[in-house]
Structure 1
Amino acid sequence: MTNIDPRRLLLDMYAAAVGAVSPQRCLPPYLPPPPRGRTLVIGAGKAAASMAKTVEEHWRGELSGLVVTRYGHGSDCRRIEVVEAAHPVPDAAGRQAAQRIMDMVRGLGEDDLVLCLISGGGSALLALPAPGITLEQKQAINRALLRSGANIGEMNCVRKHLSAIKGGRLALACAPARVVTLLISDVPGDDPGVIASGPTLPDPGTSTDALAILRKYAIEVPSEVLQHLQSLAAETPKPGDPRFAGHEHHVIASAQQALEAAAQVAREAGIAAHILSDDIEGEARDVGRVHAAIARQVALRAQPFAKPCVLISGGETTVTVRGKGRGGRNAEFLLSLAAALDGMPGVHAIACDTDGIDGSEDNAGALYAPDSGERARALGLRARAMLDDNDGYGYFEALGDLVVSGPTRTNVNDFRALLIL
């Protein structure tokens, strides 16, 4: 333990977390037996291409299909077409891919199998606006939701009710074929109906819920959108609908698996590891302050844990954008942590998105060390001022402490670890 390199240990924990939820490791045990008829593979999400490649490598028999993933997250598939599109704001490529998927599943028979591969990011990537709503209108609403601080469940509730494919509608289009959905969860609580807005799962939410969310965050919408949400056409198929009979879904990877793998790396290094939670939500800066308070209590009071130890958490925080800086929710979390700890000795931290992209930036996240504040001040940077400008990226870029992994082709959301020595 005396030879611990804090930076190396935290990076190794992050790598273990990502590796534990890779499709190559998690997907094969959940593959169903081949059907009597055709097998069509469809899907969407940041892990969709990697999931599709894994299916190809393990499937015996005929196979075809199409999946859509984020730009730069593709994979070399031979039988399943991979289309790349925009995330987190949808674009025309995502809309066209969604329409092609809907066209593919129509006309299937009861002996056919639809294998649906879903992961985080699929909601933006599978963009097919409801009739009467334009892609541009959905883009504007999506941007407003992203800036508002709405959580993933709220955003996906709105998306479902503005869509022609989400909230179970894709599954209905597959009838009478059997649908098996394999999901990598990026949502707190691992609710399969929330992951990528549940294109093949029934939806308990209502269009009234969607309207309430838009009002809650004071998001103005065009009259066409308002009229749609007030009509019966906006309603999604509900739990208990007999049209979902015989379908299956399995969450094959989750944040908890990632956190447990990271904890094992710490324990093998002689550091006690404590998982605080796998589904923390809230403003990233608030979560940063709370984590800083817990770290301080451990460092000064040996409560609720004795040091040396590492505190691990996951989930999906949000950022209400007020400034003009750069940075995703993990950089924002760490910047808030830095401001709260103010150089407290012995506390090191990492915060990264398991998909390798923090928000819309080119980094997965960043690292924090006890001397981060001192090094920043030597460059004329102040953590609190940069937090006010939502500029976590700028702060950690200047320090050389960004974590740049590139796309990991999986996604179970945020990974955070505080090492207290």
Structure 2
Amino acid sequence: MYIDPEQFLTSLFEHAVDAALPAGKLAQYLPANKTGKAIVIGAGKAAASMAQELEKVWQGELTGLVVTRYGHTATCQRIEVIEAAHPVPDSAGREVATRIFNLVTGLTADDVVICLLSGGGSALLSLPAAGISLDDKQTINKALLKSGAAIDEINCVRKHLSAIKGGRLAKATAPAKLITLAISDVPGDLDTVIASGPTVADPTTRHDACAILERYDIAVPNNVLSWLHSEESETVKAGDSCLTNSEFHIIATPQSALEAVAREAVNIGIPCHILSDCIEGESREVAKVHAALAKQIADKSQPFSPPCVIISGGETTVTVKGNGRGGRNSEFLLSLFQELQGHSQIYALAADTDGIDGIEDNAGAFILPKHFKLSQKLALKAQDYLDNNDSYNFFNPLHSLLVTGPTLTNVNDFRAILVLPESNYSS
């Protein structure tokens, strides 16, 4: 049996993305009668493709708008699509958030609102709370992204500095019928974390937000502290009457993408093992654990025998200390590269399913055993690039960056490590 490792791993990533696209996944969660009028709102990297799919299945009148990341748009006929910045919000995101908030304010119980949410919605749907400027939110957001804080921690702070997140969008929409359809990009598929939960009750408190800012030593101005110390900054809680006519459905998850990949690998003839759909932690440390497991498989056939592929999802973090280029997936892979030292039986790919790793133009990268000797020939020292958080510039001269462009969906990280027998029948 012959297998091209690079082609095989790339194919698995493509299957993960395909499984997370909204096509064919919305209709079952919508009312049986789709001939009425509905107002559509939404935010996220998949918002445009979700809106496009909604237009295909909804026969009645549709009006409204959604916001997606620059470059992640799709053509819609009835729903307006606006682009804004991610992961740090900009004025375009603030303006569309204001428009969305105003669009659903003052509705009646006879109105129907369909909200489309996906990864990236937190930054794209940015409406600062009273007394807080966009500049305040941008500064705090940048600091949190560099701190190594987990996504649920970042979103806790975002919710308590927002006029639209943490259930506040649902409060504005009530008493209208509210149907939220979401693609999960967060560990555990928590509706309260996806896009910072604008349409659901929030279990976190303003005190939690303050503790997170303190934990990661994030400096905040006095006006922000004053807001967080006021009861007005508290989010919508369970049991609030504004949620009575609201429902929430997740249409795609990291686990569903991994399961689709596992089926594809088995069809090709390679046993596949899902480690987890919700791995978190520092990217380089997570990579060390993956490397140890891959070497155990290759060298001792434990806990699995080669050939096999191990896959995982979730959202790792990077504590930025250098000034290089790269996202969490390429940093994971660079640390894995450092640990494997060109092991002849191990091949790997790590990429973000939205097609963009951090703020770069690549989805991630892949490594083959030959890249180790090539790096030596080019005098590329992996540890030096790790120290500078510069994974992009390490993999670029190796021609091993994975560039796909925006995929119009997002179920977060995808990692696949292929372990072949020592005979290396693949190449």
What interval of TM-score do these two structures reach, taking the shorter chain for normalisation? over 0.9
Residues 355 and 407, structure 1, Cα contact 8 Å, conserved in 2:
yes
Measure how far apart 1:28 and its partner are.
2.8
Instruction: Quote the Cα distance in structure 2 between the aligned partners of 1:280 and 1:232.
Output: 34
Shift of residue 36, structure 1, vs aligned partner: 8.9
**C-alpha deviation, 1:89, in angstroms:** 0.1
Q: In the TM superposition, what whole-angstrom CA distance separates every residue of 1:10-59 from its partner, at most 9, and x where no partner exists?
A: 00000000001101132232222347963100000000000001000110
Q: In structure 2, what is the equivalent of residue 378 of structure 1?
A: 377
Displacement after TM superposition at 1:372 (Å): 1.5
Deviation at 1:391, TM superposition (A): 0.9
In the alignment, which residue of structure 1 is the partner of 2:141?
142
Residue matched to 1:213: 212
Query: Whole-Å Cα distance in 2 between the matches of residues 198 and 35 of structure 1?
Result: 26
Q: Please tell me the residue identity of whatever aligns with 1:401.
A: S
Identity %: 60
Distance 1:10 1:25, change over 3 A: farther
Match of 1:198 in 2: 197
Q: Which residue of 2 aligns with 1:249?
A: 248
Asked if structure 2 preserves the Cα contact closer than 8 Å seen for 1:373 and 1:383, the reply is no
Checking the alignment, whether the CA contact within 8 Å between 2:347 and 2:367 is kept in structure 1 is: yes
* 1:16 aligned partner, one-letter code: H
- What residue is the counterpart of 2:85 in the other structure? 86
2:118 counterpart residue number: 119
| Secondary structure of the structure 2 residue equivalent to 1:384 | helix
Equivalences for 1:251-266 in 2 at 5 Å? 251-266=250-265
Residue 419 (structure 2) pairs with residue 420 (structure 1): yes
Matched position secondary structure for 2:24 = helix
Deviations 1:73-103 (A, max 9, x none): 0111111000000000000000000000011
- Structure 2 counterpart SS, 1:293: helix
Moved over 6 A (4+): none
Paired amino acid for 1:154: E
Question: What code does the residue aligned with 1:41 have?
Answer: V
Q: Is the 8 A contact 1:186 1:411 kept in 2?
A: yes
Q: Please, which runs of 5 or more residues in structure 1 have no aligned partner?
A: none
CA distance in 1, matches of 2:331, 2:36: 50
Give the CA deviation at 1:258. Answer: 0.7
1:11 is matched with: 10
Taking the TM superposition and a 5 Å limit, the aligned residue runs for 1:220-239 are: 220-239=219-238
The 5 Å alignment of 1:60-139 reads 60-139=59-138
The answer for the alignment partner of 1:324 in structure 2 is 323
By how many angstroms is 1:269 displaced?
A: 1.5
Once structures 1 and 2 are overlaid, which stretch shifts more, 232-241 or 219-228?
A: 232-241
CA distance in 2, matches of 1:417, 1:45: 25
Aligned to 2:181: 182
Letter in 2 for 1:419: L
Mapped to 2, the partners of 1:325 and 1:347 lie a distance apart of 27
Does 1:368 pair with 2:367? Answer: yes
How big is the shift at 1:71? 0.2
- Aligned equivalents of 2:344, 2:190: Cα separation in 1: 39
- 1:398 corresponding residue in structure 2: 397
- Identify the residue that residue 284 of structure 1 maps to in structure 2: 283
- Equivalent pair of 1:37/1:111 in contact (CA under 8 Å): no
Distance in 1 separating the partners of 2:226 and 2:393: 42
Report the Cα offset of residue 241 of structure 1: 1.4
Cα distance in 2 for partners of 1:27, 1:285 equals 37
Show CA shifts across 1:110-154 (max 9, x none). 111100000000000000000000000000000000000001000
Shift of 1:239: 1.1
Return the offset for 1:246: 2.5
Q: Which residue of 2 aligns with 1:409?
A: 408
Q: Distance in 2 between matches of 1:36 and 1:246?
A: 20
**Equivalent residue, structure 2, for 1:45:** 44
Letter in 2 for 1:171: A
What does 1:295-310 correspond to in 2, within 5 Å?
295-310=294-309
Give the 3-state SS of the residue equivalent to 1:225 in structure 2: helix
What CA distance in whole angstroms lies between the structure 2 residues aligned with 1:34 and 1:233?
39
Amino acid at match of 1:268: N
Paired with 1:83 and 1:342, the residues of 2 have a C-alpha distance of 45
- The alignment's TM-score, normalised by the length of structure 2, stands at 0.97
Q: List per-residue Cα deviations over 1:150-199 (Å, max 9, x = no partner).
A: 01000000000000000000011011101010010000000011000000
| Alignment deviations for residues 194-240 of structure 1 (CA, whole Å, 9 cap, x no partner) | 00000001101000000000000000100000000000111001012
Give the letter aligned to residue 229 of structure 2: Q
Gap regions ≥5 residues in structure 2: 421-427
SS in 2 for 1:25: coil
1:302-332 CA-to-partner distances (Å, cap 9, x unmatched) read: 1111111000000000000011110000000
1 CA distance for matches of 2:371 and 2:321?
24
Q: Is the 8 A contact 1:255 1:278 kept in 2?
A: yes
Counterpart CA distance in 2 for 1:13 and 1:35 is 35
In structure 2, the partner of 1:28 is 27
Q: Secondary structure at the match of 1:24?
A: coil
- State the shift of 1:360 in Å: 0.4
For the residues of structure 1 that align with 2:34 and 2:174, how far apart are their CA atoms? 15
Q: CA offset at residue 108 of structure 1?
A: 1.2
TM-score normalised by L of structure 1: 0.98
What is the rounded CA distance, in whole Å, between the counterparts of 2:32 and 2:158 in structure 1? 33
CA contact (8 A) 1:47 1:410 kept: yes
Q: Tell me the distance in 2 between the aligned counterparts of 1:344 and 1:373.
A: 9
CA RMSD of aligned residues (A): 1.0
